[in-house]
Amino acid sequence: MAYALQQLINGISLGMIYGLIAVGYTMVYGIIGMINFAHGDVFMIGAFLSLIGLVLLSMGGVMGGPAALILVLLVSVALTGLYGWAIERIAYRPLRGSFRLAPLISAIGLSIVLQNFVQVSQGARVKPMETLVRGGIEVMREDGFVVQLAYTQMLIIGVTLAVLAVFTVLVTRTPLGRAMRACEQDRKMASLLGIDTDKTISLTFVIGAALAAVAGTMYLLRYGVIDFYIGFLAGVKAFTAAVLGGIGSLPGAVLGGLLIGLIETFWSAYFSVQYKDVAAFSILVLTLIFLPTGLLGRQEVEKV
C-alpha cells in the first residue's frame, strides 16, 4: 500500500509536467488545426534557460532561495515565449495557406534546428544541477518504507495548478480568450468580424511556449539533469497525452498528461522500466481504437 501510494505521488507530479506541455499542443491544434512538432524542443529550451539563469545567479551571488527561482522562472517564460513567437512566424505563418503537410515538415525541421543549436552552444553532455529544493513531508510509514511527498513535488503540483487556473481565466474571461475561441470555431468568420487572427495565433504560440517553459523549469528542479534531447521524448509523450485526452480539449490534455505520468510511473515500479514508454504508447493505441476522439474529445462536425 505504501509503495503504491509513493508511486501515485510520483506519477501525479510527472503527469503535471506532461499536462503543461500537452496544453500547448492542444492549443495550437485547436486554433489552426495543426500539430506544433517543435513544441517539445521549446520545453527543452525553457529548461536550459532556467539552468543558465540559476547558474548565473549562483555565480554572481545576487540572490538565492525563492526569489531566485521566481526570477528565473519569469525570465525563462519570457524568453521561451519569444521562441514560440518565432516558430509561428518562421514555420507556420508563411505556409498557412499551403498544403497541410508543409507546416508540419517545416516544424519538424525547426525542431532539428533547435536541438542542434542547443547541442552546439551548450554541448552534448548531460547538464547536472545541484538540488535546490530539498526535503519533504512524511505521509506514512509501513514496514520500514517511508512515503514522502517531496517539496519539489509540492512545488510542481502547486505551480501547475496555479498556472492552469490563470490560463483557464485567460481563455474563458478575457478578450484574448474570446478571440482564441472564435478563431478555433471559424477563423475566416472571426477575421470578418474584426478579430486580428494573425495576432491571436501568434499569442497562442507564445502562451503555449510559456507553459512549456514552466514545465521545463519544474522538470529541472525535480530531476536535476537535462540534455539537448529531452525535448524529443517529453514532446512525444505530451503529444500522446494530448491525443489520449482528446486533441483540442484543454481539460483532456491535462487528464491525458496525468494518465501518461501514472502509467509510466506504475509500469516502471512494478514491471520493466525499459518498457515504460511501450506501455504508455500501447494505451494510446488501444484508446484510439475504441475512442478515436480521445477521452474528452468531441466529434467534429464538418461544415458544408
Tell me, what's the pLDDT at 298? 66
Tell me, what's the pLDDT at 64? 64
Residue 152 has φ and ψ, to the nearest 5°, of -65, -40
Taking only the tens place, the pLDDT of each residue in 212-266 is 999 999 999 999 899 998 998 888 889 888 888 888 788 888 999 999 999 999 9
Taking only the tens place, the pLDDT of each residue in 100-146 is 788 888 988 999 999 999 999 998 899 988 878 888 888 888 877 88
Residues 6+ apart with CB under 8 A from 70: none
- DSSP state for residue 147 in the 8-state scheme: E
Establish how many alpha carbons lie within 13 A of residue 73's alpha carbon, considering only the half-sphere containing its beta carbon: 19
Tell me, what's the pLDDT at 212? 94
Percent of the chain exceeding pLDDT 70 equals 96
CA distance 258 to 262: 6
Q: Label residue 210 left, alpha or beta by phi (over 0 means left) and psi (-120 to 50 means alpha).
A: alpha
**Confidence check: pLDDT of 276 > 80:** yes
If DSSP codes are grouped into helix, strand and coil, which group holds residue 232? helix
Tell me, what's the pLDDT at 146? 84
Which range (1-5, 72-76, 155-159, 247-251) has the least confidence? Answer: 247-251
Distances (CA, A) of 121 to 124, 220, 227: 9, 19, 12
CA distance 274 to 267: 9
- How does residue 185 score in pLDDT terms, banded at 50, 70 and 90? confident
- As a whole number, mean pLDDT of residues 186-200 equals 90
Which range (180-184, 229-233, 274-278) has the least confidence? Answer: 274-278
Taking only the tens place, the pLDDT of each residue in 14-51 is 999 999 999 989 888 888 888 888 999 999 999 999 99
**Confidence check: pLDDT of 97 > 60:** yes
CA distance 81 to 86: 9
* Strand residue runs (E) in 74-119: none
**Confidence check: pLDDT of 8 > 70:** yes
Tell me whether strands 145-150 and 136-142 are parallel, antiparallel or unpaired.
antiparallel
**In whole numbers, what is the pLDDT of the chain averaged over residues?**
87
